[in-house]
Structure formats: structure tokens, C-alpha cells
């Protein structure tokens, strides 16, 4: 009997593909959802890593131009009112409001400082939304994927036990395939969740550092302009 059980177990295919094909429809759907969630997470992760790297490079390059000693009006003329980089957009927002705050006679409209700061704050909020877009998907996948996988496992184990009861046989060759198929759903859930959680924490921290840099730049720029304001 043991020899027959061992031979039967050795004949079974326990590869991932075979386990997937033998799974029930519900478990297959669960695993497909988790696979798609994993691909979606990785696409966001790769896109954000590239975006944040480009944002850091742009911020460094613009800082060099800003602190080069050239007139700010000249810099604004070079980059235009709608530049590509985040730091440049914040600068452009401040400069446009600075120019709007001058009357035709060259005087300043009262409250210019507050308006300039609000303009740059709005630009910072827009850049923050762009940086953090998609991170909520990583948080959702990281928090829900294990439970989705667990649902697939519970469903698969339930069907495995129903099959055992119908066959009235509890040897390992009968039990193992069903349990293995069920546990595969949990494995897919963890495979989707772990990278999502790790990179959500990393990318959130990176985004916060970039936003902090934008806010510091806006404060410095506002201080420079305030020295020239007489309201």
C-alpha cells in the first residue's frame, strides 16, 4: 500500500503550471487577480523609480541655475511660464505672480507676498499629487493581496476536503494535490503583497523628501522676493 501511494505521488506533476491547471475555477480567478495585481504594482514601482530619479536630477540642475548669480528675470525668460521640471514650475508660479503684483506705474499691489506664497503652494500641491499618484495602488495591493490569496486557499482546501470525503481516501497521494493547489493562492498573494509594501514605504519616503525640497526652495525664493517688496 505504501509503495502504491509513493508511486502515485511520484507520477503527479507538482509544477506551478500543473497546480494552476488542476485548481478550481474560483482559485484560478483568485490567482489571476493576484498575478495582474503584481504586474500592476511592478509597473507603478518601475515608473515611480524612474520619475523620482528624474525629479532629483531636475531639482539639482535647476538649483545650480537658480543660485548661479544670474538675474531671476533672465532665468524666467529662459524657462518660460510652463517649464518641464517641478522646481522650475514652482519658480515660474512665483515669478508670474511677482510680475502680476506690479502696477502700471511700477508700484506693488498690497499683499503681494501672500499671493506669491499661495501661488507657489498651489504649484507644490500639484507636483505632490503627481509624485504620489499610484502609491495608493501599492498600499491597496500590499494590504489586500494576502487576504485575497487566503480566500483562494480556504476555498481550495474546502474543495480538497470535499474531494477526500467523496473518495473516502485520506492517503497523501489524494490529499497532497488539493492542499498544494490551495496553498499556491496564498503564495501568489504574498508574492504580490511583499514587494508592494516594501516599495510603498520606500517611494513614500522618497516623495516626502522631494516635496520637502520643493517647500524649502519655495521658502528661500519667497525670502529673496520679500526683500524687494515694499507694500
Query: What does the block give as the cell for 181?
Result: 493547489
Q: Is residue 20 part of a domain?
A: no
Confidence class for position 2, pLDDT limits 50, 70, 90: very low
Q: What does the alpha-carbon distance between residue 203 and residue 197 come to, in Å, rounded to a whole number?
A: 10
Within the chain, residue ranges assigned H as helices are 2-11, 16-22, 25-66, 72-79, 86-100, 112-132, 135-167, 172-226
In a domain, 5, yes or no: no
The pTM is what?
0.80
Q: What residues make up the domain containing 130?
A: 25-226
Spatial separation of the C-alpha atoms in residues 120 and 182, rounded to whole Å? 54
In a domain, 186, yes or no: yes
Q: Is 14 domain-assigned?
A: no
Rg of the chain (C-alpha set) = 29
Give me the number of domains the chain comprises. Answer: 1
Residue 142, in any domain of the structure: yes
Grid coordinates representing 216?
Answer: 524649502
Query: Is 82 domain-assigned?
Result: yes
- What is the end-to-end Cα distance of the chain in Å, rounded? 97
Residue 65 inside a domain? The answer is yes
More confident residue, 170 or 28: 28
How sure is the predictor about 67, in pLDDT bands with cuts at 50, 70 and 90? confident
Residue 1 lies in a domain: no
| Cα 195-155-25 angle, rounded to 5 deg | 85
Q: What is the pLDDT of residues 189-223, one digit of tens each?
A: 999 999 999 999 999 999 999 999 999 989 888 88
Amino acid at each position: 500500500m505504501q509503495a502504491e501511494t509513493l508511486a502515485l505521488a511520484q507520477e503527479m506533476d507538482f509544477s506551478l503550471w500543473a497546480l494552476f491547471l488542476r485548481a478550481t475555477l474560483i482559485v484560478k480567478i483568485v490567482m489571476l487577480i493576484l498575478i495582474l495585481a503584481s504586474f500592476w504594482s511592478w509597473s507603478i514601482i518601475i515608473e515611480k523609480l524612474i520619475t523620482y530619479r528624474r525629479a532629483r536630477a531636475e531639482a539639482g540642475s535647476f538649483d545650480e541655475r537658480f543660485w548661479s548669480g544670474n538675474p531671476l528675470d533672465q532665468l524666467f525668460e529662459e524657462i518660460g511660464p510652463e517649464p518641464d521640471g517641478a522646481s522650475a514650475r514652482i519658480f515660474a508660479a512665483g515669478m508670474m505672480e511677482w510680475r502680476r503684483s506690479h502696477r502700471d506705474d511700477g508700484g506693488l499691489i498690497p499683499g503681494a507676498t501672500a499671493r506669491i506664497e499661495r501661488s507657489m503652494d498651489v504649484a507644490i500641491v500639484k507636483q505632490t499629487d503627481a509624485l504620489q499618484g499610484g502609491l495608493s495602488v501599492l498600499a491597496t495591493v500590499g494590504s489586500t493581496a494576502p487576504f485575497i490569496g487566503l480566500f483562494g486557499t480556504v476555498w481550495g482546501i474546502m474543495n480538497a476536503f470535499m474531494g477526500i470525503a467523496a473518495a473516502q481516501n485520506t492517503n497523501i497521494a489524494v490529499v497532497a494535490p488539493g492542499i498544494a493547489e490551495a496553498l499556491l493562492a496564498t503564495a501568489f498573494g504574498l508574492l504580490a503583497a511583499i514587494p508592494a509594501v516594501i516599495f510603498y514605504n520606500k517611494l513614500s519616503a522618497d516623495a516626502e523628501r522631494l516635496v520637502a525640497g520643493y517647500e524649502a526652495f519655495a521658502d528661500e525664493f519667497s525670502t529673496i522676493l520679500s526683500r524687494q517688496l515694499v507694500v
